[in-house]
Amino acid sequence: MITFVYNPIDMMVQAAKNKYPRMEAEIQFNPELKTAGLTTFPEDGSSPLIDINASIPFETAIETLGLELARAATKTQGNDNPAWLDASANIFEEFDRIVGEQLTKYEQNKSR
């Protein structure tokens, strides 16, 4: 059997879903992106598109994903927006909870 013990991409998305269940977004890794991440809000009000730079280090990509999910949740741009700052904190707190829970379950199952 092959199992991901720690899949931070899925865990970050789950953290955002847990905190903002009505949030919608499409996510892609973009090798041509010149910044770490970018959220584009279509003029027609459809789901925002989150681009993550495919060339940045993996750990940075996970952090960037969390920050861009917070933008999608709050429909805001800019790093000084209070709603975005709160959403970022909420998503990262939930991410940490999910990671801790998942690793504890893994260790418990491994020791059986």
Distance CA 8, CA 14 (A): 10
Give the residue numbers spanning the domain of 52: 25-92
Distance CA 103, CA 39 (A): 30
Residue in 31, 36, 94, 97 with CA at minimum distance from that of residue 62:
36
In a domain, 7, yes or no: no
What's the half-sphere exposure (Cβ side, CA atoms, 13 Å) at 74? 21
- What region does 75 belong to: left with phi over 0, alpha with psi -120 to 50, or beta? left
pLDDT of amino acid 54: 97
pLDDT exceeds 80 at position 111? no
CATH number at residue 57: 3.30.2010.10
In a domain, 33, yes or no: yes
In a domain, 112, yes or no: no
pLDDT exceeds 90 at position 43? yes
Q: What is the mean pLDDT of residues 5-11?
A: 92
Helical axes 8-19 vs 58-74, angle rounded to 10°: 20
pTM for the model stands at 0.92
In a domain, 77, yes or no: yes
Considering its fold, how many domains does the chain have in total?
1
CB 37 within 8 A of CB 51: yes
Q: How far apart are the first and last CA of the chain?
A: 17
- Residue 89's pLDDT band (cuts 50, 70, 90): very high
In a domain, 39, yes or no: yes
